[in-house]
Structure 1
Amino acid sequence: MELSEVIRRRRMVRNYDPDRPVPAETVERLLGYATHAPSAGFSQGWEFLLLDTPEDVARFWAATSPEEQLPTGWLEGMSRAPVVVVPLSHRDAYLDRYAQPDKGWTDRDEARWPVPYWHIDTGMASLLVLLGAVDEGLGACFFGITPDRIAQFRTEFGVPEAYFPIGAMTIGYRAQDKRSPSLKRGRRESPSITHRGNWGNRDDS
């Protein structure tokens, strides 16, 4: 599939066919794509927790879903995905990398960073997984783990404190689902998001 088509077809899929497992070699390819993401200083401060058995996927939803929330609506469809991948950023990999002689910093001061690139780079690696899923004929969805469930998630899967889950991705074969109501807002076109030379100079002005 051409890259342009992959980009145009990418969307968040929230319902999956529970009877069609994703081949292990396909999942391996998707995670391999993630390693080609850019990273500051080539720090590569990302890790991925792969949950690809019914037992592990069930553990994920039990740990991350609000206790009072029943598996209906979007959660019902999402929980049918046979694969869940949790991308984790590793801040210390960046602080350590930039304290090395070739980077010129003499300490690990987080205040030196204009933005937390460990989160940004892990997000870009995750996007390669999402695009790869489209190319493989799969559906995928990136979503957040609510702050009040992160501790439970860590405990359930033994995730060290040094690694932060920036979200999670469901992956599987798409089943019929409904368009998100948010899409009614429409997609912004490039002229409306582009400022030439100065902030006030927009292409659609």
Structure 2
Amino acid sequence: MDFDEVVRRRRMVRSYDPDRPIAPDLVDKIVRHGLRAPSAGFSQGWSFLVLTSAEDRSRYWSSTADGSGDSGWLERMRTAPLIIVAFSNKSVYLDRYAQPDKGWTDRDEARWPVPYWDIDTGFAALLMHLTAVNEELGSCFFGVPAARVPAFKEAFGVPAEFHPIGALTIGYPAADKRSPSLRRGHRPVADVVHHGRWASSGEV
């Protein structure tokens, strides 16, 4: 698929065909494309939990359920044959930038203007999301409920230093309702893109 077409067709898909599994070689391709993401200092401080078996997927949904009752879109997501949870590891970045070629002599987190460990992991998740679109699959990125993170990590034996920044459900799309959020439409380019100087709305 042409890259422009991939970007144009990209959206969050919340309904999947439960009878169409994803071939293992395609799962591998999706994950490997994620590993091509950029990372500060080439730190690559990420890891990915790939869940394909019915047992593992069920464990994911039960360990992350927040007890508030599933909304319709979340219930539909449970039919996805693939879940990929993306984790960042801050310590890898702090260690990397304390090495001689980076010029810092300590692991002081205050040096970082933003948490690049999370940003870079988000880049990787986006590449996996776009790969799914290119393969005519549907995909949705969403967060792990904060209150359920400890239970989720315990359920899968995730080491303490890894923090889940979100999960991707991936599968062949089924008939889906149009998300109410999409009715808002895209914000005008002039409202979000500023050339040379930040212009307030209505400024000439």
- Same fold, judged at TM 0.5 (above): yes
Give the Cα separation in 2 of the matches to 1:204 and 1:142.
Answer: 35
TM-score of the two chains, using structure 1 as the length reference: 0.96
Change (3 A) 1:169 1:204: farther
Name 1:15's counterpart in structure 2: 15
Counterpart mapping for 1:54-65 below 5 A: 54-65=54-65
Give the Cα separation in 1 of the matches to 2:168 and 2:50.
Answer: 10
Question: In the alignment, residue 17 of structure 2 is paired with which amino acid?
Answer: D
Counterpart mapping for 1:1-205 below 5 A: 1-70=1-70, 73-200=72-199
Question: In the alignment, residue 112 of structure 1 is paired with which amino acid?
Answer: R
Question: In the alignment, residue 58 of structure 2 is paired with which amino acid?
Answer: A
Give the Cα separation in 1 of the matches to 2:72 and 2:80.
Answer: 14
**Count of aligned positions:** 204
Give the Cα separation in 1 of the matches to 2:97 and 2:202.
Answer: 38
Give the Cα separation in 2 of the matches to 1:67 and 1:78.
Answer: 17
What 5-or-longer segments of structure 1 have no aligned partner? none
Q: Report the secondary structure of 1:105's partner residue.
A: coil
1:68 deviation in Å? Answer: 4.2
Q: Report the secondary structure of 1:94's partner residue.
A: helix
Q: Is the 8 A contact 1:144 1:168 kept in 2?
A: yes
Give the Cα separation in 1 of the matches to 2:95 and 2:153.
Answer: 23
Q: Is the 8 A contact 1:16 1:81 kept in 2?
A: yes
Question: In the alignment, residue 24 of structure 1 is paired with which amino acid?
Answer: P
Q: Report the secondary structure of 1:66's partner residue.
A: coil
TM-score of the two chains, using structure 2 as the length reference: 0.96
Q: Percent identity?
A: 56
Change (3 A) 1:98 1:13: same
Q: Deviations over 1:89-124 (max 9, x none)?
A: 010110000000000000001110000000000000
What 5-or-longer segments of structure 2 have no aligned partner? none
1:192 deviation in Å? Answer: 2.5
Give the Cα separation in 1 of the matches to 2:61 and 2:54.
Answer: 11
The alignment yields a C-alpha RMSD, in angstroms, of: 1.5
